[in-house]
Amino acid sequence: MARLDGKVAVITGAGSGIGRVAAALFAAEGAKVVVADVVADQAASAVAEITAAGGSATAVTTDVSDEEQVEAMVRAAVDTYGGLHVLFNNAGIFPHDDGGVLDTPPATWQRVMDVNLKGVWLGCRAAVPAMLDSGGGSIVNVASFVALMGAATAQIAYTASKGGVLAMTRELAVEYARKGIRANSICSGPIETPLLAELLADPARRQRRLVHIPIGRFGRPEEIAKAALFLASDDASFVTGSALVVDGGITAAYVTPE
C-alpha cells in the first residue's frame, strides 16, 4: 500500500525544484495533489507529468503571500478531491540583494517575509479548518539549517524568515496536537535547485559554501522530498513539533574532513 493512499495534498512552489519533485513523489505514493505555484505554466507542466505517469493532480496558480489566493488554493483541494490531509509549505524566495543587516533594502526584507513567513502562516491558516473537517492531517513547513546557526555570508531576511517558520511550526504543533493535526519543519541544507544554481553561479561563491558540508556535496531535491513524504505520512504518526535536519552534516560540524 502506498504511503499516501486516500490522501489529498497541497504543495506550494510545486512548479519547479523541490516542490515539483515532491509533487511527483506524493502522487506516486497515492496522493491526489494540488500543484500550487505562482508561475502558471510551470504548475501546468508539473501536472501534465504527474497525470502522464498515472497520478492525479490539478494546478492552481498561487502567490502564497496573497490571502485570497491561498484560500482559493485550499478550496480547490476540497472542491476537487473532497478534503485536505497534507500541506507541504515549500514555496520560498532568496533575492540577490538579501545580504547583511546594513545592506538589505527594507523592500527586500518585506518581500522575503511576505513569501517565506507570512506565506507559510497563510497556508496553515487556510488549511487547518479543512484538515479538521477531513479528520486530521499533516503540515510540513520548509525552514532551513540557517534557522539553527548563523553565517558570515549574510542573508539576513532569509535567515530571519526561516527562524520564524521554525518557531511558528512548533507552536502550531502543540496547539493542534490533540486535534489530529501534526506540524513539523524540515531544516534543509543547500539543495541543487535552479534557484541555488542561479545564486551560486560564481564558482568562488559556490565553493565558499560547499567547503562547510561534511558530505562534500549539495543536497538533491529528492532528498528533501523524501523527508517531506515521511513527515506527511502515517510513518511519522508520533512525530510533531520536530525540526528534521537534512543538511549533509553542516549543523553537526566544527571542522569538515580534508
* Average pLDDT rounded to a whole number, residues 169-196: 94
| pLDDT exceeds 90 at position 193 | no
How far apart are alpha carbons 61 and 81 in whole angstroms?
Answer: 17
User: Helical H runs in the chain?
Assistant: 17-28, 40-52, 67-81, 106-112, 119-133, 156-175, 194-199, 203-210, 221-232
Residue 204, pLDDT score? 83
Let me know: does 172 contact 183? Beta carbons within 8 Å. yes
Q: How confident is the model at residue 184 (pLDDT cuts 50, 70, 90)?
A: very high
Catalytic residue list contains 158: yes
In the chain, helix, strand, coil percent, each to 5?
50, 15, 35
Return the exposure string of 42-80: e unless at least 16 CB atoms fall within 10 Å of the residue's CB, then b.
bbbbbbebbeeeebebbbbbbbbbbeebbbbbbebbbee
Sequence ranges of the domains in the chain:
8-193+221-244
Answer with the residue of higher pLDDT: 1 or 78: 78
Residue range 118-132, pLDDT digits in tens: 999 999 999 999 999
Q: Read off the pLDDT of residues 32-84 as tens digits, 9 standing for 90 and up.
A: 999 999 999 999 999 999 999 999 999 999 999 999 999 999 999 999 999 99
Q: Is the pLDDT of residue 202 over 90?
A: no
**Of the listed 81, 158, 176, 254, which one is catalytic?**
158
Please check the confidence at residue 221 and state whether its pLDDT lies above 80: yes
Decide if pLDDT at 208 tops 90.
no
Give pLDDT tens digits for 70-83. 999 999 999 999 99
Q: What integer best gives the mean pLDDT of the chain?
A: 96
For residue 113, the 8-state DSSP code is I
Query: In the chain, pLDDT over 70 holds for what percent of residues?
Result: 100
- pLDDT of 209 over the 90 cut: no
Q: Any idea what DSSP says for residue 220?
A: -
CATH superfamily of 8-193+221-244: NAD(P)-binding Rossmann-like Domain (3.40.50.720)
So what's the pLDDT on residue 206?
A: 82
- What does the pLDDT average to over 206-231? 94
pLDDT at 197 over 80: no
